[in-house]
Structure 1
Amino acid sequence: MTKSNSSASDALLEKFDLDEAKLASRIKDAAMQSGHYPYDEKLSRKTYEKELRLLQIELVKVQAWANDSGARLVLVFEGRDAAGKGGSINAIRAYMNPRSVKIAALPKPTERESGQWYFQRYIQHLPTEGETVLFDRSWYNRAGVEPVMGFCTPEQHQTFLQEAPKFEQMLVDEGIHLFKFWLNIGREMQMKRFHDRRHDPLKQWKLSPMDIASLDKWGDYTNKRNLMLKTTHTITTPWTIVRSNDKRRARLNTIRHVLSNLDYDGKDKDAIGKIDPLILGQGPEFLRLHEAMDFDD
């Protein structure tokens, strides 16, 4: 981030009180269009639910196809805290048999795992024939959370950025269908969602001390995100960016992307519909084009 953007970000944080019962109007009013988001309102619930049902029917077909063909799918969901990773995963998995569609949301490493090859604990969660695994955060913890919060050394971070493309290429060469999603939100939207979690008794469990600690590290996370995208976005293992201020549009376009890139039995292209190019795109260039973020080359 530039110094001017960093100063503006700091000033915004000073006006944010997570414990205040009422969210500051300046943050609330700016949330939806923060991060240069292209829409000023959510997609209507009626439209969302209608389109989601059609897409979920297609996902059920995908599961049947995977079971019959032995296809293996890995969907990696990354993004800042409160970007909507869990909600996207739940929308995908809602009507699929959990016996062969699994969620991997790993806690912090044990002492034993900390002494292993970094990717080792993730390998055991990879799918067997006919399975789909959805990673709610993944090995990319070492590209964002760990270096920002000081949980790894600069050398470990650099080694990861060099090894991750090689590791993922091995998965693709093995025949695994790999999808990597970065769910991108604006700062005011993150603040709004944090505030919602703090004051909703049904969502309070979602707000962790780590979330709160990240509030003043927006710029650090941005820089690490940019470096991650620059070094681990490849032709065969690309990052798909999903602009997620509106969770409904984000979920629909995420599912459309998966369905559009699989050749499964009974595929209904009309039901899948078209991806919104303002919401979903590929790699760091998509953010440069649509979000006007600062990338350090």
Structure 2
Amino acid sequence: MDQQEIGDLHRRLERELLDSYDEELELELDDRRFDEIGAGEVHPPTDAEKAQRQRYFKELLRLQGELVKLQDWVATTKHRVVILFEGRDAAGKGGVIKRITQRLNPRVCRVVALPAPNDRERTQWYFQRYVPHLPAAGEMVLFDRSWYNRAGVERVMGFCSDDDYEEFFRSVPEFERMLVRSGIQLIKYWFSITDDEQHFRFLSRIHDPLKQWKLSPMDLESRARWEKYTEAKEIMLERTHIPEAPWWIVQADDKKAARLNCIHHLLGEMPYEEVQRPLVDLPERVRHPDYVRHEVPPEMFVPDYFRLPDGS
């Protein structure tokens, strides 16, 4: 790489780190001016980049407001929703799940991210360990990877036999049709990124100490088997794209655009409407003169190591 390419790479890595910090700043935007974000960077953002970021946050907050309306509608109508998020490693599935759930009630909207099956689970009916996590009335369940592991990583890495693989494709359309017939709405997303973009995101994780935990040996192995994963994805989409539960492809090289596009599409998939909430009248604080408050022993308090400049 020449000096220009190295400089461009460093700039992209700095932007990637800033994006990861933006994820935390999103909860503080009501108290923060957009043009203050990024102050003190080695390469401060340009006016165009500031405007783009401002538009992103504005749209994200608007969409999250609609997600709150959707949540209320789901809870009120007792709707049941399952949303699957699939895609290559570092495709942005976790990022969009975080934006969807960020302002929602975890009792209504919850995330399921199952680990590799244990010895007992490997002897069960393949779909058995997913069934307990399906929604009850008034719930939304987001699967961060799902039963489609068999069509992807298990197939590519040799964790299942050819017979198991073929049985999966015979079973999964019927399994999903049963879910839909039972009244569960099933929405399936595949997050698609290019080879170069995945390489960059892995590189970014290597250089970010807060994200290095996201890199597993399996992730690194997937780089060497890119074409195998592509072939497995194509077969999966072809054999499981059914009218009752079609696949939706999210172009995810631009992470922020992918988040907005996915949330916008998700909202359009459900006929929700705003639920009118009754006005809340905060009651007066009731005081009892005969109540004596007990002092808390000082050793029970968390040490006051930090104090904000305003003393709060």
Q: Deviations over 1:101-138 (max 9, x none)?
A: 11100000011111000000001110101111100000
Q: Deviations over 1:215-267 (max 9, x none)?
A: 11000000000000000001111000001001111111111111111111229
Match of 1:58 among 62, 66, 69: 66
2:101 is equivalent to residue 96 of structure 1: no
Q: Report deviation, 1:23.
A: 9.8
2:156 is equivalent to residue 148 of structure 1: yes
1:237 and 1:261 map into 2 onto residues whose CA distance is 12
2:118 is equivalent to residue 110 of structure 1: yes
Q: Would you say the 8 A contact 1:23–1:195 is kept in 2?
A: no
Match of 1:167 among 175, 192, 204: 175
The aligned residue for residue 198 of structure 1 is 206
Q: Considering only CA atoms, is the larger Rg found in Structure 1 or Structure 2?
A: 2
1:170 and 1:115 map into 2 onto residues whose CA distance is 22
State the 4+ residue runs in structure 1 displaced beyond 4 angstroms.
22-25
Relative CO higher for 1 or 2, CA cutoff 8 Å, sep ≥ 6? 1
Query: Aligned ranges for residues 120-269 of structure 1 at < 5 Å?
Result: 120-266=128-274
Q: Report deviation, 1:79.
A: 0.1
1:223 and 1:183 map into 2 onto residues whose CA distance is 15
In structure 2, give the amino acid aligned to 1:221: Y
Aligned length: 236
Unaligned runs of 5+ in 2: 14-47, 276-312
2:101 is equivalent to residue 68 of structure 1: no
2:134 and 2:217 map into 1 onto residues whose CA distance is 29
In structure 1, give the amino acid aligned to 2:81: L
In structure 2, give the amino acid aligned to 1:217: R
Q: Deviations over 1:116-164 (max 9, x none)?
A: 0000000111010111110000000000000101110111111111211
With the length of structure 1 as denominator, give the TM-score of the two structures: 0.76
The aligned residue for residue 42 of structure 2 is none
Match of 1:77 among 85, 94, 99: 85
Q: Report deviation, 1:44.
A: 2.0
Instruction: Using the TM superposition, name which of 77-86 and 160-169 deviates more.
Output: 160-169
1:93 and 1:227 map into 2 onto residues whose CA distance is 31
In the superposition, relative to structure 1, how do residues 188 and 24 fare at CA in structure 2: closer, same or farther (>3 Å)?
Answer: farther
1:111 and 1:56 map into 2 onto residues whose CA distance is 40
Q: Percent identity?
A: 51
Q: Would you say the 8 A contact 2:73–2:274 is kept in 1?
A: no
Q: Would you say the 8 A contact 1:197–1:207 is kept in 2?
A: yes
Instruction: Using the TM superposition, name which of 156-165 and 42-51 deviates more.
Output: 42-51
2:187 and 2:216 map into 1 onto residues whose CA distance is 27
1:128 and 1:64 map into 2 onto residues whose CA distance is 15
The aligned residue for residue 270 of structure 1 is none
Q: Would you say the 8 A contact 1:72–1:127 is kept in 2?
A: yes
Q: Would you say the 8 A contact 2:72–2:274 is kept in 1?
A: no
In structure 1, give the amino acid aligned to 2:97: I
Unaligned runs of 5+ in 1: 1-14, 16-21, 30-40, 268-297
Cα RMSD of the aligned pairs, angstroms, is: 2.3
2:272 and 2:107 map into 1 onto residues whose CA distance is 20
Q: Deviations over 1:182-231 (max 9, x none)?
A: 00000000000001111100000100110011111000000000000000
